[in-house]
């Protein structure tokens, strides 16, 4: 049984597939969205423990805005930003506005990502937590 349900929000298919290969070992239940609007639909239907979001995506919201909405609608969801368009201002906004747990840059280190996910699992409210 998966220890956590993760929603990955990224418009790049290669990123989604790479994360599917690295995280799709059965330890996590994975969900995918290509934009913030689709991600919000999934959040309304599924139990999601962790959101990993890019910042630059198509649609009405960038990742920081999306994570801010998630923090208001689903405060129990652990939020992680994974972006290739990182800047100091993006990181500050992600922390201050999106209340992210961690900010990671692409390309990511698989070891660092796994460590961040283990730490994120410890923040999931019981009884489902890791």
pLDDT tens across 48-98, in order?
Answer: 999 999 999 888 899 999 999 999 999 999 999 999 876 788 888 888 888
The verdict on residue 129 lying in a domain is no
Residue 126 belongs to a domain: no
Q: CATH number of the domain at 46, please.
A: 3.40.50.2300
- The domain in which residue 81 lies consists of 4-121
| Omega of the bond leading into 127 within 30 degrees of 0 (cis) | yes
How many domains in the chain?
1
Q: What is the pLDDT of residues 31-61, one digit of tens each?
A: 999 999 999 999 999 999 999 999 998 888 9
- Would 128 be classed as within a structural domain? no
Does residue 66 lie in a domain region? yes
The residue count for the chain: 130
Residue 127 lies in a domain: no
pTM of the predicted model over 0.75: yes
d(CA 33, CA 25): 19
Q: Which residues pair with 104 in a beta bridge?
A: 82
């Amino acid at each position: 049984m998966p220890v956590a349900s993760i929603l990955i929000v990224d418009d790049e298919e290669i990123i989604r597939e790479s994360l599917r290969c690295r995280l799709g070992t059965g330890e996590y239940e994975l969900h995918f969205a290509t934009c913030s609007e689709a991600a919000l639909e999934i959040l309304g239907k599924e139990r999601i423990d962790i959101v990993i979001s890019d910042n630059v995506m198509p649609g009405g919201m960038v990742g920081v805005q999306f994570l801010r909405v998630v923090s208001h609608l689903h405060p129990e969801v652990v939020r992680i930003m994974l972006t290739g368009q990182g800047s100091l201002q993006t990181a500050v906004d992600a922390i201050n506005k999106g209340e992210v747990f961690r900010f990671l840059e692409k390309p990511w280190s698989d070891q660092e990502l796994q460590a961040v996910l283990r730490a994120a699992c410890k923040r999931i409210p019981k009884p489902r937590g890791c």
